[in-house]
Structure formats: C-alpha cells, structure tokens
Structure 1
Amino acid sequence: MKPQNISEPPVENHDTDDSKPSFWHIVISTLAAAFGVQSNKNRERDFKHGHIGPYIAAGIIFTLLFIAVVATIVTTVLKAKGL
C-alpha cells in the first residue's frame, strides 16, 4: 500500500460532474425529462454545466420524432383496419 502524502489533498474523480455534458448526456437527459424520471444529480449537472441551446434542440427533435412515430402507428393501424 502506497503511503499518502499528507500535504496533498486526496484526488477525487469528477470526470463527468465537472465537464460539460456530452451528446449522450443531452440525449439521455432529454429522454428522462420526457418521461419525468430525471434524477436530481443529472438535473443539477445539466443546469450547472450545460447551455440551453442543445437541450432546446434535443427537445424539439424528440418532439418531432415522437409525433412522427405516433402518426405512423395511427396510419398503419387505420390502413390495416381498412379505414
């Protein structure tokens, strides 16, 4: 076991907490927010290190994809029933 130098503070691992959110963090935060299950830790990370632009863009893209998927499902069901 390596002795710790008392004059040096312990090194803490904050690789994701102190950096700006990555593309996947934004995607996961957007999906979590859409379902209402965003953790407090992730919400704080998003507000502390993220800019609003990528989150707005991700929200708009998610909303458009959601509408397209629902419209496609409804259209497919209506065609299958012959309506």
Structure 2
Amino acid sequence: MSKDQSENRSDQAQGQSLGRVFTSVLASLFGVQSSRNRERDFAQGRPWIYVVVGAVVAAAFVLMVWFVVRMVIKSAGI
C-alpha cells in the first residue's frame, strides 16, 4: 500500500466521526436523510460502521419499546 493510499484512508476515517455516523443513521431511520449526506456516506463511509451503529440504534429502539410496554402493563395492573 502506498503512502498516498494510507493517507487517503486516514483522511476518510477522520471525516467519518462517530457523531456523524450516528446522526446519519438516525436521519435514515426516520426517513429524512438528505441526498447530499447519503452520497457523502456512500463515498466516505465504510459499510460496517453504519451496520454496527444501525444495529445498536435498532436494538436500543426495541428495548425502549419493550420497557415502555412493560411499564404500561405494570401500571395497568395486568
């Protein structure tokens, strides 16, 4: 691997902060992702980062719904 390629990869990794990935995943989850951001994600992003963050966000959403349902059932006395 040449020095230019390794510098390019490190630039891409730095441009792809966890906050930016998280924001992009949330925006796509709610269906409000802009075309510009989507194109940036596909151009700069590594797919596995988005898959991992997406899985974590989806799991957190499922756990939140489960918790709310348990609380409602408990407060209703069922």
Q: TM-score, normalised to structure 1's length?
A: 0.76
Partners of 1:67 and 1:54 in 2: how far apart? 20
Q: What number of residue pairs does the alignment pair up?
A: 66
Alignment of 1:67 onto 2:62? yes
Q: 1:51 — aligned with what? A: 46
User: Whose helix fraction is larger, Structure 1's or Structure 2's?
Assistant: 2
Post-superposition Cα deviations, 1:34-59, rounded to whole Å, max 9, x if no partner, equal 00000111101100000001000011
Summarize the alignment of residues 1-80 of structure 1 with structure 2, pairs less than 5 Å apart: 19=12, 20-80=15-75
Partners of 1:39 and 1:25 in 2: how far apart? 13
Partners of 1:77 and 1:24 in 2: how far apart? 32
Q: TM-score, normalised to structure 2's length?
A: 0.80
Q: CA deviation at 1:22?
A: 1.0
Higher alpha-carbon Rg: 1
* Percentage identity across paired residues of the two chains: 38
* Consecutive aligned runs of 4 or more in structure 1 exceeding 3 Å deviation: none
Unaligned runs of 5+ in 1: 1-17
